[in-house]
Structure 1
Amino acid sequence: MSNPSDHDATPIASVDQMAAHLAAGCKPREDWRIGTEHEKFGFVRPEAARSRGLAPYAAPPFGPDGIESLLAGLAGNGQGWEPIRDEGQLIGLKGSGRWKGASVSLEPAGQFELSGAPLRSLHDTRTELDAHLAELRTLAEPLGIGFAPLGFQPLHGRDAMPVMPKSRYAIMRRYMPRVGSMGLDMMLRTCTVQVNLDYGSEADMARKLRVSLALQPVATALFASSPFRDGRPSGFLSTRAHVWTDTDNQRSGMPPFFFEEGFGFGRYVEWVLDVPMYFVSRDDRLVDAAGLSFRRWMAGEEPALARWRPTLGDFDDHLTTAFTDVRVKRFLEMRGADAGTPQMMVAQSAFWVGLLYDEAALLAAERLVRELPWDAYPALRAAVPTQGLRAAAGSRTARDLARDALAIASDGLRARALRDGEGADERRFLAPLEAIVAGAPNQAEHWLARFDGPWNRDVRPIFDEAAV
């Protein structure tokens, strides 16, 4: 989840004003960029864990020799990272210089996230990822810490996970058990990879949203990498995706009206105004507003917030608390994939860029998703955590949809014709997905085969084998 942002103090006067605030994100095609966010679980290597009285492969605590030390090391390495603090605690980093436009943030249990800068090409995305991982390894290895990008914590239970000193997470931890059975698991035991993409107009946003939301379950199946829970197979290929089925359904999933003709910024604002609030930021601190109504606050009907008038900064903060599989901000966020290998992280961006950033590809993707009724896609979302690419979608399977979507994405990347120094275009980043749709195991199936084979049903080797 994002770091605290600069707060726009402009008072809110109307729904139209908030819709216009979103519309300000529209960009001409030549300015469309790719932002990739990726999370990974930290773990303390066994020899370091023993010396600190921790369990082998324990999640690193916040503090010296842990997450705080890593953030401080990045802030002090002269590479362009500036500290972000929350009530005096170092909880994130803002990039400058070579890292301008990027940030580092912490998920609730210390899952380490790079929010990449908006970049022109997937070649740039891969270069950024490699640089981040190399920088992080330099600091983490002397501390005996490694990082493994997996969709769900494979070994440790919720109570064994540390909690980061970030104000919004304290509010969420109190609120989540009131609205779903697995909200704390989402916070403490999941990791994702997300790609953020631009739109050119309100109509373009709606087209891209419908296509990407419909195909999000296909991405979940392709990128599944979380088949373990508490040291054993969970029964799911994506335990992370299963967790999202009962986290907080008022703010997550695939709202049906997103698929409707006429959907636009105004209708999104009307929906998000009724998503219950988490917090309000005032005087450099967060005020607990969990469960309150932004709409009622605007109308002056929330006594607990009566001393403040809502601003566009509050609206921006509130947008970050909507957890739909595709989220609308001043760009679109694709949120349906487990974290995975570096190759799969870039493949996630390549998949969506290929589908959405070329007009012919977007038209073909629209035709593909309209072959099924819209209600087929929420049903597919419910099936893929267990069944993966075998899940049925009407008369087709998730694998059929993946194969067709991947062919469209490849055509879209070919049309972009952005080449690296060796003359290869961006299609090369789709190679791991092409292997999977041709019958190779996805990441979850690979890990299950390792568990039943050379690991002798001991999940702990996954940390070393998945380490980046």
Structure 2
Amino acid sequence: MARDTTDTSPLENFDELVAYLAAGCKPKDQWRIGTEHEKFPFYYDGNAPVPYAGERGIKALLEGMQRVLGWEPILDADQIIGLVEPTGQGAISLEPGGQFELSGAALETIHQTCREGNAHLAQLREIAEPLGIRFLGLGGSPKWTLAETPRMPKSRYDIMTAYMPKVGTHGLDMMYRTCTIQVNLDFADEADMRRKMQVSLRLQPLATALFANSPFTEGRPNGLQSWRGEIWRDTDNQRSGLLEFCFSPQFGFADYADWALDVPMYFLIRNGRYYDCTHVTFRQFMDGALRDSVPDGMPTMGDWANHLSTLFPDVRLKRFLEMRGADGGPWRRICALPAFWVGLLYDDEALDAADTLTAGWSYADVHAMRDAVPAKGLDATLGNAGLRDVAREVLTISRLGLKNRGRKNREDFDETHFIAPLEEIVARGTTSAQEMVTAFHTRWGGSIEPVFLEYAY
């Protein structure tokens, strides 16, 4: 999320919480694709992390991007922490360890998404190269310790940093040492949201396997294909993970709102100041728990929107659905991730096929797959089926959906070629994580440094 919301409309009852989510319903001709991707900045002379301050730091990078793009700065205590396109069509933000994120515009096709990503990376290189900065497309920081990792001056991250060790073992690693590619997709109505939520929750571990790209920690192989996937297995499990209640045939907006009410808050914003509210749930807040301890301490729509943005399930519901299972990766993956999900969820025939394929997968089945994938990748199983075989079926469905959409570019190509990188992974049977580990033990000579050359943008 690029900018915390400050909508001061009063929030008085549960029905308003549900209505906020339901307001995301829109007809199919208005469905859009919003792609987000994060990457690690590093100094290419020595492969060191990039701090916020200094003539060659993250702040200078943001100021340079502001000059090139003409976007408006996002400030926190007078420090620039991001940029937003003036009409709301895209934003640049910082993750806690300086991971640089583009939150893309709401676009109609994967062709547009790919052009957007390429333009962003070209603009970024123009500013970053003179500063000695490049960017790494991995799901986990491969070299630096947590102590060596910079910290960005964002108030919400200070609150989260203090809170995370109380509620899980990997929260700080999640914040400071992971990157993702994510896509945000629309739904027509509650029934459509339910089906898309359930299909995508079942398939999220498969996405983690296909995009597994974080096999190193602190300069050595960590024994995992997706260290990022493993981190999410114990990062504040009250607000993250695989949500069992979403598997219910009756699941709807009210169920998600009811769950969100009982998740502890992170913060409130009042007059530009962030207040630590990790000691209360949103339900307690609604009942007046902060009335006397925070200025204007009664809930607003902005508070609800911000709270929803601090929940981290495998698929997150806001006024759209966010697919959260993939590691960050090379530039082709920035196009492949949205293509994978658009093919499955935005075409009726493909969604029917994906729903039919996965309908028999229980919560326990998917949870077991989710637990196995970080270490085993496509060698994990779903019941008696190998995940590689499942992946082949799912990619066939996604390709069908992209073909049926018929969205062609000026050269008359449709969107199907964007999932080719995933089909290549399934065909050869090895993830990029496995290939990197093989390279580490052979041609890289036991050194992590070549990753900064081969996986840099």
What is the Cα deviation at residue 373 of structure 1? 2.2
Cα distance between partner residues in 2 of 1:389 and 1:459 = 24
What whole-Å deviation, never above 9, does each CA across 1:386-438 have from its counterpart, x for those lacking one? 00001011111221221111111111001100001111100010101111111
Greater shift, 275-284 or 79-88, is seen at 79-88
What is the Cα deviation at residue 4 of structure 1? 2.4
Cα distance between partner residues in 2 of 1:3 and 1:429 = 27
Cα distance between partner residues in 2 of 1:344 and 1:178 = 34
| Alpha carbons 1:40, 1:191 under 8 Å: kept | yes
Residue 29 of structure 1: aligned partner: 28
Cα distance between partner residues in 2 of 1:388 and 1:36 = 24
* Alignment gaps of 5+ in structure 2: none
SS in 2 for 1:120: coil
Distance 1:6 1:306, change over 3 A: closer
What is the Cα deviation at residue 374 of structure 1? 2.7
SS in 2 for 1:146: strand
**Aligned pair partner of 2:301 in 305, 308, 312:** 312
| Alpha carbons 1:353, 1:409 under 8 Å: kept | yes
What is the Cα deviation at residue 43 of structure 1? 0.6
2:257 is equivalent to residue 269 of structure 1: yes
What whole-Å deviation, never above 9, does each CA across 1:341-378 have from its counterpart, x for those lacking one? 11112111000000000111111111111133232001
Greater shift, 212-221 or 445-454, is seen at 445-454
What is the Cα deviation at residue 301 of structure 1? 3.2
What whole-Å deviation, never above 9, does each CA across 1:228-269 have from its counterpart, x for those lacking one? 001000000000110111111000000110111111111100
* Alignment gaps of 5+ in structure 1: 47-55
SS in 2 for 1:209: helix
Residue 58 of structure 1: aligned partner: 48
| Alpha carbons 1:300, 1:306 under 8 Å: kept | no
Residue 67 of structure 1: aligned partner: 58
| Alpha carbons 2:399, 2:416 under 8 Å: kept | yes
Cα distance between partner residues in 2 of 1:39 and 1:186 = 13
Residue 85 of structure 1: aligned partner: 75
Cα distance between partner residues in 2 of 1:161 and 1:435 = 34
Cα distance between partner residues in 1 of 2:456 and 2:233 = 28
Structure 1 stretches (4+) deviating beyond 2 angstroms?
3-6, 301-307, 371-374
| Alpha carbons 2:40, 2:141 under 8 Å: kept | yes
Cα distance between partner residues in 2 of 1:59 and 1:350 = 31
Residue 15 of structure 1: aligned partner: 14
Residue 86 of structure 2: aligned partner: 96
SS in 2 for 1:93: strand
For 2:201, give the aligned amino acid.
Answer: L
Cα distance between partner residues in 2 of 1:374 and 1:301 = 35
SS in 1 for 2:362: coil
**Aligned pair partner of 1:352 in 327, 334, 341:** 341
2:267 is equivalent to residue 279 of structure 1: yes
SS in 2 for 1:83: strand
Residue 214 of structure 1: aligned partner: 202
Cα distance between partner residues in 1 of 2:298 and 2:266 = 16
Cα distance between partner residues in 1 of 2:261 and 2:70 = 37
Aligned pairs for 1:317-466 (under 5 A) are 317-466=306-455
Residue 230 of structure 2: aligned partner: 242
Over the matched positions of the two proteins, sequence identity in percent amounts to 50
Cα distance between partner residues in 1 of 2:7 and 2:195 = 29
For 2:76, give the aligned amino acid.
Answer: D
SS in 2 for 1:438: helix
For 1:31, give the aligned amino acid.
Answer: Q
SS in 2 for 1:206: helix
Cα distance between partner residues in 2 of 1:378 and 1:306 = 42
2:91 is equivalent to residue 113 of structure 1: no
Q: Aligned residues, how many?
A: 455
| Alpha carbons 1:225, 1:237 under 8 Å: kept | yes
What is the Cα deviation at residue 384 of structure 1? 0.2
Cα distance between partner residues in 2 of 1:398 and 1:244 = 20
Cα distance between partner residues in 1 of 2:378 and 2:447 = 26
Aligned pairs for 1:61-210 (under 5 A) are 61-63=51-53, 64-77=55-68, 79-96=69-86, 100-210=88-198
Distance 1:306 1:74, change over 3 A: closer
Cα distance between partner residues in 1 of 2:279 and 2:196 = 31
For 1:414, give the aligned amino acid.
Answer: K
| Alpha carbons 1:297, 1:306 under 8 Å: kept | no
SS in 2 for 1:226: coil
RMSD, matched Cα: 1.2
For 2:21, give the aligned amino acid.
Answer: L
For 1:444, give the aligned amino acid.
Answer: A
Distance 1:443 1:291, change over 3 A: farther
Cα distance between partner residues in 1 of 2:184 and 2:404 = 20
Cα distance between partner residues in 2 of 1:371 and 1:435 = 27
What is the Cα deviation at residue 440 of structure 1? 4.4
Cα distance between partner residues in 2 of 1:62 and 1:314 = 28
Residue 53 of structure 1: aligned partner: none
| Alpha carbons 2:388, 2:429 under 8 Å: kept | no
What is the Cα deviation at residue 35 of structure 1? 0.4
Greater shift, 323-332 or 59-68, is seen at 59-68
Cα distance between partner residues in 2 of 1:372 and 1:249 = 22
Distance 1:191 1:183, change over 3 A: same
What is the Cα deviation at residue 58 of structure 1? 1.3
| Alpha carbons 2:270, 2:295 under 8 Å: kept | no
What whole-Å deviation, never above 9, does each CA across 1:200-221 have from its counterpart, x for those lacking one? 1011001000000110000000
Residue 43 of structure 1: aligned partner: 42
Cα distance between partner residues in 2 of 1:8 and 1:444 = 42
What is the Cα deviation at residue 27 of structure 1? 0.8
For 2:234, give the aligned amino acid.
Answer: D
Residue 49 of structure 1: aligned partner: none
Cα distance between partner residues in 2 of 1:175 and 1:286 = 14
Cα distance between partner residues in 2 of 1:9 and 1:26 = 23
| Alpha carbons 2:138, 2:328 under 8 Å: kept | yes
What whole-Å deviation, never above 9, does each CA across 1:148-185 have from its counterpart, x for those lacking one? 11000000110000000000000000000100111001
Cα distance between partner residues in 2 of 1:274 and 1:343 = 39
SS in 2 for 1:76: helix
Cα distance between partner residues in 1 of 2:195 and 2:275 = 37
